[in-house]
Structure 1
């Protein structure tokens, strides 16, 4: 989504101080929970044009999250095919939010991978993934009204089993969707930036239930619940104050969401630290929180574990320390997950050409302190000014896949950095999904799909009844990168 800035973090120490294991991983293995996870490298790339229209005739894009329909995934000759659910966020919102109808796009996808380390046929470097739009699910509230991308300036009061919900000025429930989990029965869990909530929808898109996080994560202004992200719609007023005093920071909600392979636990991860945990400053927002829910009753998720997860830190070209906020997770178990973390303001479509941190890291929770139900879920900060409480041990974070690896990218005609053209990776890689390689000789091998949020940047855009052109003359395609990985324990 827009307005995700990464400012300097002068007060941080070396990476190892925050539980992050230093190192650059291009292709190799990492260990967690007695299992070894292997990155075999990039095997396919694909594009959907930036000017593509969806089933509503509006500009398609923004892969804020993706979910692969596992029942649809099959071999197809030398390749594979299946259905991907691609989740956009709140619409094109460069100059404020709009009444963008919340939706999920369905894609018919065909994958034709090359063998790891091989180079595709000349001229076919970025045709390894082909995708066509096959459907669209509109998201509605529990009363059947469309949900909106507009910044909420009000609160719909608690009703029945529904908690207080973010309410836009036009009377619609606001959602800035960032994570999706597709359940075997066709229902969906979707996480939200505004709440930050976890919503459960029917396969037809109707809101069935909503899970409110612990009070420590709820955005509070002047002692009251206030869901605004300080990005008002046309004619709307900015919140007062512009930032929450406690709870999630503006535009830093539940960015990551994933179900464990056994289907028992749902894990959600806040994009960066809460305000009281150092999230009120770009230099101290590195300690975020992972919430682990028992999903035995999908309508009533139960928080059973909560951990502090240190976000990666890195040095910029001036030697200043910065924080890489997370954009998505993929659960490996209730004790570990992959985390996609990245910098900002670098890549095709924005001013900077070269990204300095864009990695998929492995997060191990096994030795971290469980703070669920403690005072840290209330008014007591767990990391005031970014310094973790001495009674709390954080998770361990280890680099796994470097999305900026130019050796890997080069085989597919892509690069990180100059020349600043359409083959320079775009800024926001924000979605992950996994599908079996269906290889009897390698039963633990999978294809890891990684998608970008292109912010709907095109020169031929149309949304909410109006045409638009993105600044800078850019057309940023929706893209997929696919890695072949070995992931033991992923079978249900």
Structure 2
């Protein structure tokens, strides 16, 4: 079977796993539509919420970290008389690191999910508002390097492992381990997976058992440079380590703004990776000018050797903060819909449960269309020419288009499930970081284009009953921030035939 056929099979297999249970009604309330490139996308609203307790431990006895990245196993997704069930892979990042990074071992968590959706527009009973998603931790697997040795969440400071074999130069911590701040996951039909990284920012390919196979380094324009040399430090030094000099890179990705979003197109042809915000030379040195980020489209015909096929400038959303100042909402995750469109989640920072700020000003999912954008792959913009100096896009470059689709902060939708955005800053106030997305079919022949869009938060391991790297801890700020899921029912045209 060809790779393209295999992906088409995975996207359509769930449509055949139908039962005789009642179909899910079309939304009566809160339905909204947007049209992009002649295709109509429908948001039927929030249909489910669920939690995993903040003090959950994984099989290694350490505090469970939540969704920096998420992937749903389409072969496991099924519908029965009790709703839906399936297997999810949830990717945590580099561990609890509020006061600096630690030697947390990167890992991948497997969840068993039961989902009983609420009818779009309806309000569930008070005692069932946040139990529609029942997520159980089933397993945890460590990610290890090509030799089978542990990797680490520690900041690489000035360390580097020289290129060898299928691996380019890699970030390396002072303890000799490869540093990995993992942010997004794409699981392939054969069980291998691509995982994106903040430090490099690289794309790593792992075996199904967690062993590193190969890595892809982005174009030179994205590689962080200090004083003329690659420097992968993120200015989050580990215990006893010193901050980099200078603290921020001169060019390349900004600290902690690596490849945050990544997804495979439904036909399996392209792996799409998006930088969280603009590179330093493109205005990424300021929260008000970091708007022009980049989307990299890699030819994935040979997963062992990704080839950059296309590259586009994506303008991130802009909003006004409480002080009337312009801010840019960095992106946190994507879901590819075709070879030219994808969903993109972008948000503000510093606001929500577990933070000092109460009210988020921007958390939204948009439809991004690159079909008319300028392809800058392999151009001077991939070398030493800024594409948006001081945040001003080069006149020769046409950016992708951005169309708002789902407002995660919608107070009416949140209220139906006992949630809110803003005061009181309690456990029902959305936490700061919503960073994971994945979709699964509603398995309804009457609604062939309908999907559940699962969105999960990254809780930053914030709990008052934490344990990692051999020590107990209490999360900064005194909050217990649960792992949470929100599920939206959406119509996405064209996917059913892929």
Of 114, 118, 126, the residue aligned with 1:122 is: 126
Secondary structure of the structure 1 residue equivalent to 2:127:
coil
Secondary structure of the structure 1 residue equivalent to 2:477:
helix
The corresponding residue for 2:272 is 267
CA distance in 2, matches of 1:417, 1:436: 32
Secondary structure of the structure 1 residue equivalent to 2:130:
coil
CA distance in 1, matches of 2:328, 2:34: 22
The corresponding residue for 1:58 is 62
The corresponding residue for 2:231 is 226
CA distance in 2, matches of 1:320, 1:242: 25
The corresponding residue for 2:107 is 103
CA distance in 2, matches of 1:471, 1:293: 39
Secondary structure of the structure 1 residue equivalent to 2:337:
strand
CA distance in 2, matches of 1:425, 1:334: 32
Secondary structure of the structure 2 residue equivalent to 1:473:
coil
Specify every segment of 5 or more residues in structure 1 that has no aligned partner in the other structure, as ranges.
Answer: 1-25
CA distance in 2, matches of 1:473, 1:161: 44
The corresponding residue for 1:246 is 251
For the pair 1:32 / 2:36, whether they are aligned, the reply is: yes
Q: How far has the Cα of 1:94 moved from its partner? A: 0.7
Of 429, 435, 439, the residue aligned with 2:440 is: 435
Of 161, 170, 175, the residue aligned with 2:180 is: 175
Note if contact 2:224-2:254 (Cα within 8 Å) is conserved in structure 1: yes
Specify every segment of 5 or more residues in structure 2 that has no aligned partner in the other structure, as ranges.
Answer: 1-29
Note if contact 2:65-2:93 (Cα within 8 Å) is conserved in structure 1: no
Note if contact 2:36-2:403 (Cα within 8 Å) is conserved in structure 1: no
For the pair 1:276 / 2:281, whether they are aligned, the reply is: yes
The corresponding residue for 1:361 is 366
Q: How far has the Cα of 1:92 moved from its partner? A: 0.0
Note if contact 1:62-1:88 (Cα within 8 Å) is conserved in structure 2: yes
For the pair 1:402 / 2:381, whether they are aligned, the reply is: no
CA distance in 1, matches of 2:204, 2:464: 33
Q: How far has the Cα of 1:129 moved from its partner? A: 0.2
Secondary structure of the structure 2 residue equivalent to 1:385:
helix
Secondary structure of the structure 2 residue equivalent to 1:408:
helix
Q: How far has the Cα of 1:199 moved from its partner? A: 0.5
Q: How far has the Cα of 1:225 moved from its partner? A: 0.9
The corresponding residue for 1:372 is 377
CA distance in 2, matches of 1:317, 1:340: 21
Of 157, 160, 173, the residue aligned with 1:155 is: 160
CA distance in 1, matches of 2:33, 2:160: 47
CA displacement 1:295-322 (0-9 Å, x = unmatched): 0000001100000011100112232211
For the pair 1:186 / 2:191, whether they are aligned, the reply is: yes
Structure 1 window deviating more from structure 2 (163-172 vs 232-241): it is 232-241
CA distance in 2, matches of 1:76, 1:204: 30
Q: How far has the Cα of 1:38 moved from its partner? A: 0.6
CA distance in 2, matches of 1:386, 1:256: 21
Q: How far has the Cα of 1:472 moved from its partner? A: 2.5
Structure 1 window deviating more from structure 2 (71-80 vs 95-104): it is 71-80
The corresponding residue for 1:13 is none
Of 427, 434, 439, the residue aligned with 1:422 is: 427
The corresponding residue for 1:88 is 92
TM-score where L is the length of structure 2: 0.93
Q: How far has the Cα of 1:418 moved from its partner? A: 1.1
Note if contact 1:137-1:204 (Cα within 8 Å) is conserved in structure 2: yes
**Moved beyond 6 Å, runs of 4+:** none
For the pair 1:214 / 2:219, whether they are aligned, the reply is: yes
Q: How far has the Cα of 1:29 moved from its partner? A: 1.3
Of 462, 472, 479, the residue aligned with 1:474 is: 479
Q: CA RMSD in A?
A: 0.9
Note if contact 1:27-1:401 (Cα within 8 Å) is conserved in structure 2: no
Structure 1 window deviating more from structure 2 (32-41 vs 368-377): it is 32-41
The corresponding residue for 1:338 is 343
Q: How far has the Cα of 1:32 moved from its partner? A: 2.1
CA distance in 2, matches of 1:434, 1:215: 33
Of 200, 210, 229, the residue aligned with 2:205 is: 200
Q: How far has the Cα of 1:76 moved from its partner? A: 2.5
Matches within 5 A, 1:317-328: 317-328=322-333
The corresponding residue for 2:355 is 350
Q: How far has the Cα of 1:62 moved from its partner? A: 2.6
Note if contact 2:106-2:142 (Cα within 8 Å) is conserved in structure 1: yes
The corresponding residue for 1:137 is 141
Of 380, 390, 393, the residue aligned with 2:395 is: 390
CA distance in 2, matches of 1:110, 1:437: 13
CA displacement 1:120-152 (0-9 Å, x = unmatched): 122110000001111112101111111110000
CA displacement 1:23-62 (0-9 Å, x = unmatched): xxx7411222332111000000000000000111100023
CA displacement 1:3-42 (0-9 Å, x = unmatched): xxxxxxxxxxxxxxxxxxxxxxx74112223321110000
CA distance in 1, matches of 2:347, 2:126: 30
CA distance in 2, matches of 1:450, 1:490: 19
The corresponding residue for 1:236 is 241
Note if contact 1:218-1:246 (Cα within 8 Å) is conserved in structure 2: yes
For the pair 1:484 / 2:497, whether they are aligned, the reply is: no
Q: How far has the Cα of 1:291 moved from its partner? A: 0.2
Structure 1 window deviating more from structure 2 (87-96 vs 466-475): it is 466-475
Secondary structure of the structure 2 residue equivalent to 1:333:
coil
CA distance in 2, matches of 1:151, 1:58: 20
Secondary structure of the structure 2 residue equivalent to 1:248:
coil
Secondary structure of the structure 2 residue equivalent to 1:71:
coil
Q: How far has the Cα of 1:240 moved from its partner? A: 1.1
Note if contact 2:166-2:213 (Cα within 8 Å) is conserved in structure 1: no
